[in-house]
Amino acid sequence: MNAIECSREQDVIDAVSSGRWPDRCDDALRVHVAACAICAEVAKVARALQDDHEAAWRDARVPPSGRVWWRAEMRARQEAARKAARPITLVQGAAAVCAGGVLVALAALVWPMWPTLTAALGLLTASSLATVLPQFGVPLAIGIGSILLLTPVALYFVFSEK
Amino acid sequence: MRDLTLTDVERLESRADEARSAEVAFQMDEDTFRAFYERTAKPVWVYLSRMTGDAQAADDLLQETYYRFLRVERSYANDAHRRNYLFRIATNLVRDARRRPRVDLVRVPEEDAPDALRADGDVAERTARRTDLTRAMALLKPRERDLLWLAYAQGSSHQEIAESLGLRTGSIKQLLFRARHRLAALLGGTRT
């Protein structure tokens, strides 16, 4: 089985990372690396990576810690607010489903009476309207006007944020 | 089930307001974080930069790394463990970024020599070596790149590498040997 490690690997890595390799390290290590395939590989790879590391280190421009902290804090708060608001969305959804259910129930209730209602409306001819409207016209107009005025106000108070 | 009233909705909304203004739960206070960041930010950025091949991506991933680190509820035996965990988060983020097809990770340099190659002496040699390295690293598997960088660029121990990459310490020697052998072969006749 081929060897995968050498006892002097760490010496080679130390020499490369301290900048002593190859010119300022001791001769014994140089002789060893020349004879040891593993250490020769380690020296080649470590030197290339160390050079690249030095270049990257020189180019590195990291943001200040305060900015990273502040951004993290902002994001955590936004996530907390989103999490807390999730039940409200669920409640609004449930309310919409309930409203839909009530409408369906009303429709189901009115449906059997529909022929009777249309018959009654059929009796309400233009001439009968002319006699009825003067009697109930004013209360009817007040009722419709109130609904038209109050509905937007009520909706505003229900859906406004505060 | 009890019907929800308007008061319930108001109560839920007030909870959302409280969350907006509440102190967020981080695993350390600001001063401790600042000290830890000063010690680790540059190595993490360099690692991210070289593993993604993109300085801009490294900037984004650096912020994300620290955010995830701060949010995790975990205890550490010592500062080295904390640092290794930070690198583990960074490694996972790089892996996620690699899976995204639009991100062109580890750019292979153009065949034409850069201007610096025409410079004299040691600078030219170093630049040429870096260009060779970038090309060779691009041909390695992502895990091989991670291993080699941590071992030979950062000088991490086998245990630190194992913790940073989520691998068993016992397997690092063999994996590192294979990765190093491949990279050495790809670097070819580059002078040691």
- Whether A101 is in a domain gets the answer no
With 60 as the cut, is the pLDDT of residue B53 above it?
yes
- The CATH number of the domain covering residues in B114-192: 1.10.10.10
Residues of chain B numbered 58-97 and touching chain A (CB < 8 Å): 59, 62-63, 66-67, 70-71
Q: Which CATH architecture has domain B27-107?
A: Orthogonal Bundle (1.10)
Confidence of residue B32 (pLDDT cuts 50, 70, 90): very high
Structural domain includes residue A17: yes
Query: Is residue A32 situated within a structural domain?
Result: yes
Higher pLDDT, B2 or B167: B167
Provide the number of structural domains found in chain A. 2
In a domain, A22, yes or no: yes
Region of residue B167 (phi > 0: left; psi between -120 and 50: alpha; otherwise: beta): beta
B45 contact residues in A (CB cutoff 8 A): 60, 62
Domain that holds residue A23: 9-59
For residue A154, tell me if it sits in a domain: yes
What's the mean pLDDT when you consider all of chain A?
Answer: 84
Contact B147, A4 (CB under 8 A): no
Q: How many CA atoms lie within 13 A of A74 on its CB side?
A: 8
Rounded to an integer, what distance in angstroms lies between the CA atom of residue A81 and that of residue B15?
Answer: 9
Where a domain ends, among A17, A36, A59?
Answer: A59
User: Which residue, chain included where needed, has tokens 């409207």?
Assistant: A133
Q: B94 near B122, Cβ under 8 Å? A: no
Average pLDDT on B104-117 reads: 47
Query: Is residue A4 a part of any domain in this protein?
Result: no
Q: Which pLDDT does position B112 carry in this prediction?
A: 46
pLDDT surpasses 80 at B37? yes
With an 8 Å Cβ cutoff, is B33 touching chain A?
yes
Q: Is A134 inside any structural domain?
A: yes
State phi, psi for B72 to the nearest 5 degrees. Answer: -75, 140
Mean pLDDT of the B88-117 span: 67
Contacts of B16 in chain A (CB under 8 A): 81, 84-85, 88
- Express each pLDDT in B113-147 by its tens digit: 444 444 556 677 777 777 788 889 999 999 999 99
Find the closest chain A residue to B36 by CA distance.
A65
Residue B76, token pair as written in the block: 């550490």
Q: What is the ipTM of this complex?
A: 0.73
Does any CB of chain A come closer than 8 Å to the CB of residue B24?
A: yes
Note whether residue A150 is domain-resident: yes
| Residue B163 pLDDT exceeds 90 | yes
Please give the pLDDT value at position A16: 92
Considering the entire predicted model, what is its pTM? Answer: 0.67
The CATH 1.10.1740 portion of chain B extends over 27-107
- How many Å lie between the alpha carbon of A82 and the closest alpha carbon of chain B? 8
pLDDT, tens digit, for every residue of A129-152?
A: 667 677 777 777 888 888 888 888
Q: Convert chain B into a string of H (helix), E (strand) and C (coil).
A: CCCCCHHHHHHHHHHHHHHHHCCCCCCCCHHHHHHHHHHHHHHHHHHHHHHHCCHHHHHHHHHHHHHHHHHCCCCCCCHHHHHHHHHHHHHHHHHHHHHCCCCCCCCCCCCCCCHHHHCCHHHHHHHHHHHHHHHHHHCCCHHHHHHHHHHHHCCCCHHHHHHHHCCCHHHHHHHHHHHHHHHHHHHCCCCC
Say if B39 is an interface residue toward chain A (CB within 8 Å).
no
Q: Tell me how crowded residue B60 is: count the other CB atoms within 10 A of its CB.
A: 14
In chain B, CATH 1.10.10.10 sits at 114-192
* DSSP classification of residue A63: P
